[in-house]
């Protein structure tokens, strides 16, 4: 067992790691970091060696990644007034797949609206070594509500041979170039997964992009072939995929479009079982893309009861590798409900596949964009920790980049995003949400394994998740939601010890080698 407790080290043992810091701008809701052609903040390099630790901190009062480091001592004596965080490295949980966001049309439109040198800084911020290094990202199959129009890859009615199937200008202008840049910045392909919002309207019962509509049964195999063609066409552009979900939010297809105008297609559990078992599963597994991870559900917690007939279907589970869940009703449904996503199948996993702040504006509860909001960063942190504690292998945001109104979206479904673009001023703004998610995407690298972590009873406002990384570094993410600074003490295996101070309303990542 490792006992980790964290408190302030003497100044002689602490060094500050220099890098480009946040260019702060105050807003009505908080603060943002401003990036332009001349300047953009970066993440200080990790420089931890045996006997040392490094801390990265982001707080409501100081955005960016502030880094300090210091020496671990050999004195395991408890420090008076310090609160304890305890790790047990012998108890291991899930392996991390990654963290990231979605390559929507709106994301690409907003990046492209900036000068090329500013675009480069934005892409570096998300995918580069000096950025937060997103590793798991989502790609829509065709259009979504965050496109400028409704479109599919075959809008020629009754083209049952898919002779007219073709990627669109939207793919070549707004998705593929930025995916390629992201892969180049990472030096390796990002783990991409694809999701469809709807089939072409002519394949559906309502002949529309949105509203109450389902895939016509005579087109079940054609729809599987259509999806396979998507992977084939993207492969021609040097873009390969790690996985796919079976349908974005199938519950939406039961809702009339006078209520919900998001591109959708409904599936009942029995319909989904039939399509996966007889069409999608065999089509994918008998193709050159047979190793694609197929994820079921891809909807919110409130619809998890509809998953049970699917996850308990033997034929479906022959082809399914994991599940995906959205965050939109998390305030109604406790995280324990995520137990329904679990299975005894070997290699089974689940991820959180979509989240965004501002979505409750459709009910009149909030504004789509709250520029600089720390509250929205806190909601990201809590949801990520909730999912990780329940066994999630990753967490994926929705639009990576939007404009200051929360668009574009052709159905006026504006929401918030970690990065906002001001094309007129040729600059972009990193919101607190960017740094909240960045603490996980940057430091909890793919292949990390979550280990047991607990906090002292006096730390009511503190949440902790800890991981052993594949490079043998331990990463401990500490979130203090309280209004007071907290002294914590670190003891590693009862011999090494160190101290840090956790700021009020802050997220912090501590990294060190276990002795």
Q: Strand, coil or helix: what is 90?
A: strand
Give Cα 52 to chain centroid, integer Å.
30
Q: What is the mean pLDDT of the chain?
A: 93
Distance CA 144, CA 198 (A): 8
Active-site residues, by number, are 249, 354
Q: Are 213 and 153 in contact (CB under 8 A)?
A: no
Distance CA 350, CA 312 (A): 15
What confidence tier does 499 reach under pLDDT thresholds 50, 70, 90?
A: confident
Position 154 scores a pLDDT of: 98
Sign of the C-alpha dihedral computed for residues 356, 357, 363 and 369 taken in this order: negative
| Residue ranges per structural domain of the chain | 2-22+52-95+449-513, 98-129+136-154+184-443
* Strand 98-102 with 394-399, pairing: parallel
- The continuous run of DSSP H or E covering 108 comes out as helix 105-112
Position 454 scores a pLDDT of: 85
Which pLDDT tens digit goes with each residue over 6-47? 433 333 334 444 468 999 999 999 999 999 999 999 999 998
Strand order in the sheet with 427-430: 24-26, 31-35, 427-430, 419-422, 401-403
Average pLDDT over residues 79-107: 89
Distance CA 193, CA 284 (A): 14
Which pLDDT tens digit goes with each residue over 212-229? 999 999 999 999 999 999
Note the residue count of the chain: 515
How far CA 366 is from CA of 358, 370, 376, 429, 487, in Å, comes to 6, 9, 11, 21, 35
pLDDT at 450 exceeding the cut of 60: yes
Position 426 scores a pLDDT of: 98
Residue 108 backbone phi and psi in degrees, to 5: -65, -40
Distance CA 336, CA 442 (A): 27
Average pLDDT over residues 428-438: 98
Position 77 scores a pLDDT of: 63
Nearest to 491 by CA among 61, 73, 35: 73
pLDDT at 2 exceeding the cut of 90: no
- Higher-confidence residue: 364 or 3? 364
pTM for this prediction:
0.95
Position 70 scores a pLDDT of: 83
pLDDT at 71 exceeding the cut of 90: no
Taking domain 98-129+136-154+184-443, whether its CATH number is 3.30.70.600 is answered by no
Taking domain 2-22+52-95+449-513, whether its CATH number is 3.40.225.10 is answered by no
Which pLDDT tens digit goes with each residue over 226-275? 999 999 999 999 999 999 999 999 999 999 987 889 999 999 999 999 99
Distance CA 273, CA 271 (A): 5
Distance CA 268, CA 481 (A): 40
Distance CA 493, CA 335 (A): 31
């Amino acid at each position: 067992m490792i006992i980790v407790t964290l408190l302030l080290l003497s100044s002689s043992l602490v060094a500050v790691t220099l890098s480009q810091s946040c260019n702060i701008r105050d807003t009505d809701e908080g603060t943002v970091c401003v990036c332009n052609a001349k300047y953009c903040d970066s993440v200080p390099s990790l420089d931890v060696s045996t006997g040392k630790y490094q801390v990265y901190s982001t707080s409501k009062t100081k955005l960016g990644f502030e880094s300090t480091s210091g020496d671990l001592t050999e004195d395991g004596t408890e420090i008076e007034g310090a609160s304890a965080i305890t790790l047990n490295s012998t108890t291991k949980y899930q392996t991390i797949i990654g963290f990231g966001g979605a390559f929507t049309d709106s994301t690409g439109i907003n990046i492209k609206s900036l000068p090329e040198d500013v675009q480069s800084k934005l892409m570096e911020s998300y995918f580069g070594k000096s950025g937060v290094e997103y590793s798991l990202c989502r790609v829509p199959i065709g259009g979504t509500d965050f496109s400028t129009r409704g479109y599919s890859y075959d809008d020629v009615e009754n083209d049952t041979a898919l002779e007219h199937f073709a990627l669109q200008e939207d793919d070549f202008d707004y998705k593929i170039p930025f995916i390629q840049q992201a892969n180049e910045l990472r030096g390796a392909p990002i783990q991409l997964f694809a999701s469809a919002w709807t089939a072409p309207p002519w394949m559906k019962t309502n002949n529309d992009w949105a509203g109450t509509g389902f895939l016509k049964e005579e087109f079940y195999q054609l729809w599987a072939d259509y999806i396979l063609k998507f992977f084939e066409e993207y492969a021609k552009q040097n873009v390969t995929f790690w996985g796919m979900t079976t349908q974005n939010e199938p519950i939406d297809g039961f809702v009339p479009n006078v209520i919900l105008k998001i591109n959708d297609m409904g599936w009942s559990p029995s319909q989904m079982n039939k399509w996966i078992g007889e069409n999608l599963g065999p089509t994918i597994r008998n193709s050159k893309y047979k190793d694609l991870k197929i994820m079921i559900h891809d909807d919110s917690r409130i619809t998890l009861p509809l998953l049970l007939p699917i996850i308990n279907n033997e034929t479906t589970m022959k082809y399914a590798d994991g599940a995906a869940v959205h965050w939109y009703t998390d305030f109604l449904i406790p995280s324990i409900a995520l137990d329904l996503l679990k299975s005894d199948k070997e290699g089974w996993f689940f991820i959180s596949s979509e989240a965004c702040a501002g979505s409750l504006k459709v009910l009149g509860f909030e504004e789509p964009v709250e520029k600089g909001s720390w509250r929205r960063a806190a909601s990201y942190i809590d949801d990520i920790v909730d999912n990780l504690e329940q066994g999630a292998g990753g967490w994926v945001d929705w639009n990576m980049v939007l404009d200051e109104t929360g668009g574009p979206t052709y159905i006026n479904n504006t929401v918030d995003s970690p990065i906002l673009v001001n094309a007129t001023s040729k600059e972009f703004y990193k919101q607190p949400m960017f740094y909240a998610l960045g603490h996980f995407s940057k430091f909890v690298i793919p292949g990390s394994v979550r280990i047991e972590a607990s906090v002292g009873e006096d730390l009511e406002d503190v949440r902790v998740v800890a991981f052993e990384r594949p490079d043998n570094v331990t990463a401990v993410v500490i979130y203090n939601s309280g209004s007071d600074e907290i002294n914590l003490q670190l003891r590693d295996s009862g011999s090494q010890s160190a101290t840090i101070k956790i700021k009020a309303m802050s997220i912090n990542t501590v990294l060190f080698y276990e002795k």
